[in-house]
Amino acid sequence: MPGAVERLSDALDCPLPEAPSNPTDIVAFLDECGSPSTMASAGGRYFGFVTGGALPATLAANYLAGAWDQNCFSFVSSPAIACFEEAALRWIKEALGLPKSAEGALVTGATMANFTCLAAARNKVLKDYEWDVDRQGLFGAPDLTIVLGEEAHVSLFKVLSLLGLGRDRVITVPVDDQGRMRPGGLPSVNGPTIVCIQAGNVNSGAFDPAQQIIEWARNAGTWVHVDGAFGIWALASSKDAHLADGVVDADSWATDAHKWLNVPYDSGVALVRDRNALAQAMSITGSYLMATDHRDAMNFTPDSSRRARAVEIWAALKSLGRSGLADLVNRNCRQAQSLANGLRQEGVEILNDVVLNQVVVAFGDDDKTSRVISTIQDSGVVWCGGTKWRGRIAMRISVSSWATTDEDVERSLSAILEAHLQN
Ligand SMILES: Cc1ncc(COP(=O)(O)O)c(C=O)c1O
């Protein structure tokens, strides 16, 4: 709603109240001033970034878990959530066909999931070279080589920086026109090495060729990590699982539940094949925390006190089942194809091979594309974001929500084409 954010900002521009307020009035204020200024990202015509909606069961689970207000760092602090967490992790592995024995951590998002997996990887590969990062830190450690594609997600570089591995020390492998690593460009390496594969490029949706990269990695003796923030859910699809061929053979996997699993923010998942490697990187020690023989989440996650993300993930998988999850992924991919075909038919340029749920669009030169994106965003009918793809300004459509109907696709297509004609 035009002006809503300004009104909200004005309404919030007041000093800390001296006296208490009535909770009912507070909720009324939130709804009157907050609701109209939110992004309609839970709706069926929001295609910005890569954004899932919130399945009804997950939103209800979120409300209930909020009311329970459990602190989920250990079994003792919340036995119920510890049970949900084990069940949720088991179901995620079953849904994606990942090894049953892999250990996991529920974190805020793919950035922290990548962080968690790569912390485990860093410590393990250096341990194999007689270096204990946990005790000694990184000062004086053997050189650790990180290999990733030129199109690795920007958040991965932040993770490398946080892990003390440096944004600029990486070896980048050239990519093809879809952003996939070219296996021929893999370097020869020796010493401790981690290679990061991408399952789902944030623009094109393309997958690095996991099978070939993993074959190279096994010969080179390196740890293979998969950043599958949204694309790894292709493994649950009855049509597109082939895109992720080989991914299950990696050593660790990071993904988001708040993207294609359609749970409320925030929710990411880290899975590591070698349980000890994750535990050794994340364990916390201290007697007052009252460890038991049960699984304590704090020994597998970077954080300690945390909310009950497991309940929403469990609710999503319970509400969808294996077939519902496959249908969701298949449907969104089909809808992405429909949008791409509808635009192409009207002479709009589609810049990527639409293999998954992502469509990269140009409406002409950079100026025109930028103008069309603004018109679309102002339309209030559909929301798509801008990006840069292979040197050009482009619009990105990401179809990732359970709430997107075929009618939404039709309405969105009309609104996008109208904006194209207006500019
Ligand atoms: C491939 C990839 N990796 C990592 C991320 C970061 O995810 P998050 O914002 O949930 O931390 C994204 C986000 O879109 C992504 O697409």
**84 pLDDT higher than 90:** yes
- Calculate how far, in angstroms, residue 155's C-alpha sits from the geometric centre of ligand 1: 7
pLDDT tens digit string along 237-251? 999 999 999 999 999
Q: Can you state the percent helix, strand and coil of the chain, rounding each to 5?
A: 45, 15, 40
| E strands present in 182-302 | 193-198, 223-227, 252-256, 268-272
pLDDT per position as a tens digit, 344-387: 999 999 999 999 999 999 999 999 999 999 999 999 999 999 99
Q: Beta partners for 386?
A: 395
Task: Indicate if ligand 1 lies below 6 Å from the C-beta of 109.
Answer: yes
Ligand 1 pocket member 110 (CB < 6 A)? yes
- Residue intervals of the chain classified under CATH 3.40.640.10 are 57-316
Listed residue (237, 185, 238) closest to 209, CA to CA:
185
Task: Tell me, using a 6 A CB cutoff, whether residue 227 lines ligand 1.
Answer: yes
What's the pLDDT band for 286 if we cut at 50, 70, 90? low
Query: What is the rounded average pLDDT of the residues 405-414?
Result: 98
Q: Whose CA is nearest to atom 7 of ligand 1?
A: 110
Q: Which atom of ligand 1 is nearest to the CA of 200?
A: 1
316 alpha carbon to ligand 1 midpoint, in Å?
20
pLDDT of res. 2: 66
Name which of 210, 218, 266, 261 is nearest 88 in CA terms.
Answer: 261
**Cα 245 from chain centroid (whole Å):** 19
Q: Is 50 in the pocket of ligand 1 (CB under 6 A)?
A: yes
| DSSP assignment of 186-248 | PPP--SSEEEEEEBS-TTT--B--HHHHHHHHHHHT-EEEEE-TTGGGGGG-TTTGGGGTTGG
Beta-bridged to residue 388, according to DSSP, are 393
Which of 116, 180, 202 is the pocket-test mutation for ligand 1 (most atoms within 8 Å of CB)? 202
Please give the distance, rounded to the nearest whole angstrom, from the Cα atom of residue 110 to the centre of ligand 1: 5
Take atom 15 of ligand 1 and give the residue whose Cα is closest.
229
pLDDT at 288 exceeding the cut of 90 = no
Indicate whether residue 257 lines ligand 1 (CB < 6 A). Answer: no
Residue 285: which pLDDT band, with cuts at 50, 70 and 90? confident
Distance (Å) from CA 15 to ligand 1 centroid:
36
| Residues with Cβ within 8 Å of residue 341, at least 6 apart in sequence | none
pLDDT tens for each residue of 291-346: 778 999 999 999 999 999 999 999 999 999 999 999 999 999 999 999 999 999 99
- Rounded distance from Cα 144 to ligand 1 centre (Å): 24
CATH number for the domain running over 57-316:
3.40.640.10
Residue 337: predicted pLDDT: 98
Q: Is 18 left (phi over 0), alpha (psi -120 to 50) or beta?
A: alpha
In angstroms, what is the span from residue 261 Cα to ligand 1's centroid? Answer: 14
Whether the predicted pLDDT of 290 surpasses 90: no
Which runs of consecutive H residues, i.e. helices, occur in 77-162? 79-96, 110-127, 133-136, 154-162
Per-residue pLDDT tens digits for 38-62: 999 999 999 999 999 999 999 999 9
In the structure, what pLDDT confidence band is assigned to residue 287 with cuts at 50, 70 and 90? low
